[in-house]
Amino acid sequence: MIICDIEKQGFDFANFPIASINAERKEYLERFSANPDCHFWITKEGNDVCALLIGELKFGKLEIFRFFNRSQAKQKHSLISIIDFLVEQRNIFGIAVFQNLKAYFSILEEIGFKYDSDIFMELDISSWQTRTTGLPFLEFEPLNRRHFSIVHSLKKQSYTNDFYQRLVPEEQVDAYCRDAIGWMFKSEGNNFTFVGKQNSEYIGVVSWNEGEEPELRDIMVFPEKQDRGYGTALLQKAVCSLKKKGSPKLKLGIFESNIPVRRFYERVGFVEIERLEMMYWRRGNCS
């Protein structure tokens, strides 16, 4: 079996010899082709294409988006062959696979993948009681470029509780964190990020989106300042802004295995509304 990393530009999905790629999926795949970090890999036997795997490869981490195969009998062999090839030839450190590929979870479990869940939670803003006592007082500054080193430091220190710590090699952590916070510095209408400080000392950052379905993007507090109410004070900044605009709910997504963060959000009133199973693999171990 030959495995190829194919060029996306000019790739004709209409002629791709896998019947499961219908018009809707074709459009979906074409959107992926615009992502420079998205790659397509195929398996071939002779001149026959057997399978197509689509994923984002970045910082030694692969997220598998889609897998299409021609033969039900050969799907296991094709999937494992591509993964083995990528781990060895591309030196991949970690892999994440989400619920849209649940049909292949049993195969992945056989080769060492572990289960986790992507949990979606929701806060009823209308019932949030704004607290003027009991919380530490924070001053807030809208995020700007001079805050980059502060936010980058926060991200690196919070990284130990991040799901992707399992999937990114240590030498790539700095680059990963820079990329992970880059969106905060882009002025995109409904995105808001504030840095909280107390007595001129920076404490943490809160970021949220005020679109049709408001989403809490991130709360980060320096480790030595945690468990003192600062996380709730940062959250209150976002909730009060949304409450003034009449938004009824605030949503967020976290990984089930990120237990300290999940417990914090449960304490402040978020409730689980949905969970999606996923699997991951990490070079060396899956703990």
> What percent of the chain shows pLDDT beyond 90?
48
Domain boundary among the residues 72, 92, 112 is at 92
> What percent of the chain shows pLDDT beyond 70?
87
104 belongs to a structural domain: no
236 belongs to a structural domain: yes
**Residue 42 and residue 147 share a domain:** no
Q: Which of 94-98, 156-160, 177-181 has the lowest mean pLDDT?
A: 156-160
Radius of gyration (C-alpha) of the chain in whole angstroms: 22
Domain boundary among the residues 47, 72, 92 is at 92
pLDDT tens digits along 246-287: 999 999 999 998 888 999 999 999 999 999 999 999 887 544
Q: 242 in helix, strand or coil?
A: helix
pLDDT tens digits along 198-227: 999 999 999 999 988 999 999 999 999 999
Q: How many domains does the chain have?
A: 2
**Residue 203 and residue 85 share a domain:** no
Predicted confidence at residue 6, as pLDDT, reads: 64
Judge contact between 193 and 205, C-beta under 8 A: yes
CATH of the domain at 159: 3.40.630.30
Domain containing 153 equals: 120-278
Q: Which amino acid is it at 144?
A: N
**Residue 168 and residue 64 share a domain:** no
286 belongs to a structural domain: no
98 belongs to a structural domain: no
pLDDT tens digits along 101-124: 999 999 999 999 999 999 999 999
Predicted confidence at residue 176, as pLDDT, reads: 86
Q: Which amino acid is it at 228?
A: R
pLDDT, averaged across the chain: 86
Which of 188, 224, 225 is CA-nearest to residue 207?
188
**Residue 82 and residue 214 share a domain:** no
Q: Does the structure show a pLDDT above 60 at 196?
A: yes
111 belongs to a structural domain: no
115 belongs to a structural domain: no
Q: Quick one: tokens of 44?
A: 């071939």
Which of 149, 233, 158, 161 is CA-nearest to residue 196?
233
CA distances from 270 to 102, 201, 241 (A): 27, 29, 17
Q: 85 in helix, strand or coil?
A: helix
108 belongs to a structural domain: no
**Residue 187 and residue 131 share a domain:** yes
